[in-house]
């Protein structure tokens, strides 16, 4: 077995695709509209045969979502966390936790939010 994807419901598909593909460098792998159910599924991710994908689900009815207290975050490995954060900040992406060592550890992390409000953790590799 292996993990295939994680699904996130998004408020605005175009903004979310611009964020995940434009700002975070993912690729739109496939997109399907389901008129009968009034929703669109868009799968984004990085290249590689076993690469985990994120399924962005956009419901056409304009409903709003609560992130919830049980949800954690999506985590991405980055080569230069300080450069990535500066690039994202310049593009208008809010940095909600500046890069630095995690509490009680030495791993350098930062947090940003996607357009819907989901936290994304950046981890220095």
The residues annotated as belonging to the active site are 121
Beta-carbon count within 10 A of 94 CB: 9
Q: Which two tokens stand for residue 1?
A: 């077995």
| C-beta separation of 102 from 109 below 8 A | yes
Beta-carbon count within 10 A of 36 CB: 6
């Amino acid at each position: 077995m292996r993990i295939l994807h994680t699904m996130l419901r998004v408020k605005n598909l175009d903004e979310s695709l611009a964020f995940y593909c434009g700002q975070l460098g993912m690729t739109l792998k496939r997109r399907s509209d389901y008129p009968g159910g009034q929703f669109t599924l868009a799968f984004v991710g990085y290249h590689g045969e076993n690469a985990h994908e994120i399924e962005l689900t956009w419901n056409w009815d304009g409903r709003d979502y609560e992130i919830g207290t049980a949800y954690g975050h999506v985590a991405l490995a980055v080569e230069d966390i300080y450069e990535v954060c500066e690039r994202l900040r310049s593009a208008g992406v809010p940095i909600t936790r500046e890069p630095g060592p995690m509490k009680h550890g030495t791993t350098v992390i930062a947090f940003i939010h996607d357009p819907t409000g989901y936290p994304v953790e950046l981890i220095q590799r």
